[in-house]
Each structure stands twice: as structure tokens, then as C-alpha cells.
A and B are shown apart, each in its own frame.
Chain A
């Protein structure tokens, strides 16, 4: 048993719902107890979708268990087919129905419906949402595109010079973080490269579209967590190459362009230079000097974490001081990226571990999910959301892609916004005692209402409410081991001086000073130690 309060991912059948809800003409019949219909509100409330998810639940109750739940499933499937007339149906069980072993796949097959029915085996007690989405998408693709597969060993026809090459865009789903806008941006990019978008799937695709996936020349894997399995099968079955770069950030967009150009045997068009985004100039402009070396902590799904870490380093001039992911399926890539930066990746789906890692790393900015937004809020650190899980405010009315050149512009704006700005930062440093520079006030451009709830980024955490910490902090912490022995105590004078340092760098100052004291075997931290450490580490 794993004790948890909040989860990064739902159960795997919610992943299947994200695929079904993204598509048109597909229906999902889900064997599930009363109450599992809560999942509808993810789509109708959080994403503000205009239609109910195309899901029929059997909503069995205790009194049904003694009778025939299999018959209940069949009648639900029969009625769903009659009412919605889908082109294809996916069928499966949620966690409770998995235990009663009614075999929705076999039951549906026995009904002989005149449409393709696709059984899903999604083990609820070992797998999670993204895996469920990937598996569902793969099963749909395999079932619907499979009949059009060439004989194994058939060579793929060479690109036709007279026609524009065609690509599928694979991976965008319902409830995805900015998937809606990333698709538009990616299509535009492909168009500029002379590539037609053949099918986008699963978002807005029909079963008949899935059937013709094999006609494209290659596949763009927009979100590997969702599309990697299906794209791998398409590559093996149809010989379709797939892209490996996710175009988030200017550099990755350049790499993506180069990758696509290599696939179609074309030169990179000159119009698609990095200057197609404003990010490079905004980052080089002197106003951005204050961004230099800002300490950032990055956590989310693997795709967005890998991309964000690169953008943070190379395009914003930040320093990544911690990174990790809840996507265990892609843990290896994140570990490697962390190692390149001299860090150890945090691979976990326990938000309390993430919280502890953020406290230890004392960042000035957190790039994370809605969990990290809450953690950062409690710690008084700025935060921008870069990945699912997200909430209603992360489905903005405006166009706000993460991908492509426009996506890079969005990243620059969104990540800079939570920070205290250049000159304000200096004034806060110079006049700490000004009564209006209280730690309770956030950055001036955020208005005055949000009070900093607790001592921010200061090591002293949760003064007015004990953390529940129902799961113990990780045994293996990623933080500097010298800290684990317990830092030397601070003299009152040194503690007072520390308070004069603005809140957004105070955490770093405290950490540096304690590290310095530990390295020099000091038994207490005096005012002198504070400044010695400052001289030792630089700002």
C-alpha cells in the first residue's frame, strides 16, 4: 500500500478516457462501479469541454454483484451502440471491475456488433494514467490501421518528388497541457517545411482517420509519453520513420526542423532561423541580465522536464539546481539529463518527496505541475507550470503553445513573470528595512493581495501548520550530504543579518553559508561566516 494525498497521475482508465474524449466517432464502454463517473468532470469542468466524454459506465452497485454484472455490461454496450452509433468502440474495466473479472473484451466480441471493438487490458493496480493512454492509443492504432499494413518485408516507396511529403502528428489528447495549441504550432512549422499534415491523432481524429495513418511518409511524435508505443509499431509495420525531438524551446525547435528536413531530404529554409522567435533577443537584451544564474527546480512529465531544463540552461541563462519526473517509463532520459548537469534526478510520484527536494535545493523559481505550484506558493517561491497535471487556469483562453517559435515566446514570458524584476531586486537589496519591503509582500507587479503565508525559501518551513508528511521523506536525499548532518547553529546577529537579504535569494544564502560552515568545520555561524561564505561562493 502506498499512502498518498495527491497524485500526479490518475488510474490507467482515465488515460484511456483522454484518448476516447480526444477522438470523434469513438465510444468507450467502461465496466465501473457507481462513482467512477467523477472522471467526466475532468473534461467538462477543468478543460471546459463542450460535450460529455463519450463514455458509458455500467455503474454497478453492490446489489448487482450478486446477480449478473456481465449481462449489465452487455446491455450497457448494446444501448451505447444504439444511442451513439460510434464507428468503433473501446471496452474495458476500471480498478473495481478488474477484480470481478467479467472480461469486457470477450463479452463485447460475443455480441457481434457491426463495428470494430477494441478490448483494453489496463492493469489498475500496477499502471497509471499516461501508460493507460499510450496503451489505449496503441491498441486503437493497431486494430484500425493494422488491416492496411503491407506484407512484412515490403520496402517503403521512396518520396515522390512531385508531391509534398505527408506527416502524422501523434500524441495530443484531451486534458493535455497545451496540446490544443501545440498542434496548431507544429502544423504551421511542418507547412513551412513543405510538409502536409496527414492525420493528427488522437485529438479530433476519427477511427477512419486512424485507419489511414500508414499513408503518411513519417510520424511526428509530439508527446512520447502518449505516442511512443504506437509510433514504434507504425515504424515496424509500415516502415514509417518517426521524429525524436520534441520542439519545445528555440534550440529544440531548430533540432526538430533539422530532423524533419533530413527525413524529407530537404534543406533547412532560411526563414526558419532562431530569430523567428523573440526569445533569443529578449534573453540577450540587457534587461534580462538579472536572469543570470537564477536557481530553478524542474519537475513534471519527462517530455516537458527535459525540454524545460534545456531552455532554462541554454536560452534563459538560469541554473538548474534540481530536476525530476513522475514518468517512470522515461526515467532513464531524465536521469541522463540530470547527470549532465551534475545533479541526481528525482524519480518519484510522491509530492512530499518533491517538496522536500525543493526545500533542499532552495530555488528562486520552480517549473512544475500544479502540485509544484502549490508547493512553491507555500514556500513563497515563484512558479510557472510546464506540465500536467494541471488545473482549469492552465487551459487559457488565449493561444499559448509550448512548442515551436511562438511556444518559445510563451515560455520566456511565463517563466519571467513570477520573478522579481531587475531594478526592483536591487532596491529590495539596498533598503531591506523599508517597511513596505516586508517579506509578506510579493513582487510588486503581482499586486498586493497574495500574502506570503510562511517564511519563504528560508529553510524554516510551515511555521503555522505542520506538514502532514504521511509518507516519510525519501531515505536517499539528493541534497548535499553535509546538510543531513544538521547545520551549525546561527548566532542571533547572523540570523538578523540574513533577514536583510531579500527573500528570493535568502534561501540560497542560508544554504551556502551552512555548506561553507560545514566544509570548514565551524561550530556556529556568525556574521563573519555569512560574509566569508558570500566571498567564497560569489553571489
Chain B
């Protein structure tokens, strides 16, 4: 059976490019354009991995959704990879260290993300 990946990003082109790339790699892709939509699709579809953008309707939406997914019983075991341009945007050049409580994600990738790096991360963390 194909592994399911949920891509949550408000940039349509970015979402399309990533979806095509991962579909070519044999994954089944579901898409969401906002944190709320992403959260409900995560509960509904129970994907094997979620790719999550940070800045959508508000600047820290991705962080909030990651926490919400982590505390929700049905979604807490789904691995999350964060894909973000936030450190360039805010000029905060520190690394986001994934963390059980504050940032419950597997990995944080910087936009624009190289296809090889994305595929590597996805293969590493997918359930």
C-alpha cells in the first residue's frame, strides 16, 4: 500500500511542486492550505507523515498546529516535518531544535528545500 503524506502549505505552487515530486517517488499525497484544514485532514486521513509550513494565516500557525497534533490522541503518533522560510524571514539564524513539548516535530527544513534533502527526510521519518 502507498504511504500517505499530507502537505500543509498556503503557497499553491510550493505545494504543487512538492506533491508532484513526492508522487513521483511513489507516495500518495493529500493537500491542505491552512492549519485548520491540515489538522482536520490529519485526523480524517491519518497520513504516515505531515509536511508543515510555519507561516500561513498567522506567523506561528505551523508551531501551533504541530502542538495541537501532538496533544490530540488520534494524531499524536504521526511524524511531522516542518518546512519553513521563517528564519530568513525573521533573520533569526538559530536552528530550530525539535523538542517533545515545544516543537514536537521530527525535523525542520529550510525553504527553498532541495529535492534530495526533502526525499531523504521523508524516507527517514515516514511511518
- The judgment on whether A and B are partners is no
B binding-site residues for A, Cβ under 8 Å: none
A binding-site residues for B, Cβ under 8 Å: none
